[in-house]
Amino acid sequence: MVLTDEQGRLLFCSPTRPGSCADIPHARELGLVKLLADGPAVEILADAGYQGLRAQTGGRLVTPPHRKFKKDAPDWYEEVHERRRKAHSSRRIRVEHGIAHLKNWRALARHLGRRERMDDTVQAVAGLLSQQQTADRILARQT
């Protein structure tokens, strides 16, 4: 799980887990759901894997719109649904770019080490990326 700010800068990278894991149980295990429900009023733009958590987080977690009709949707519904989906996607693109910056590091793109050490590699790359983004921000302010 990766959290970025509105500019796509890395804020948090969770520890990796062996095997596949659904997003919602992972968010609950990390305490993100409780933190959002009880914490400051922030808005988190999430992907479809987090649908269903909006009510549990006090509306702070925003996911793409859920499709109400699986079959025989009215003509007007398809247009409205697509417009809402694109609006969410347009707001979330910077988050995706932030995740892409993390994945572009060669150590993660071509991980050849042992799986047991993958968590250490992810955390190290996340720390380096965060440091790089902070340094870039400081340089931008000075010029």
125 has pLDDT over 90 = no
In whole angstroms, how large is the CA radius of gyration of the chain?
18
Domain that holds residue 101: 2-142
Query: Which pLDDT band, with edges at 50, 70 and 90, does 87 fall under?
Result: very high
d(CA 75, CA 142): 54
* Tens of pLDDT, residues 53-66: 888 988 888 999 88
Q: For residue 100, is pLDDT > 80?
A: yes
Structural domain tally of the chain? 1
- Report the pLDDT value the prediction gives residue 114, as an integer from 0 to 100: 64
Dist. CA 22–CA 35, nearest whole Å: 19
CB 35 within 8 A of CB 56: no
* Count of beta carbons in the 10 Å neighbourhood of residue 111: 14
Counting beta carbons within 10 angstroms of the beta carbon of residue 36, is it exposed (0 to 12), middle (13 to 18) or buried (19 or more)?
Answer: buried
Q: What is the mean pLDDT of residues 61-84?
A: 86
User: Where is mean pLDDT largest: 58-67, 80-89, 123-132?
Assistant: 80-89
Task: Tell me the one-letter amino acid at 124.
Answer: A
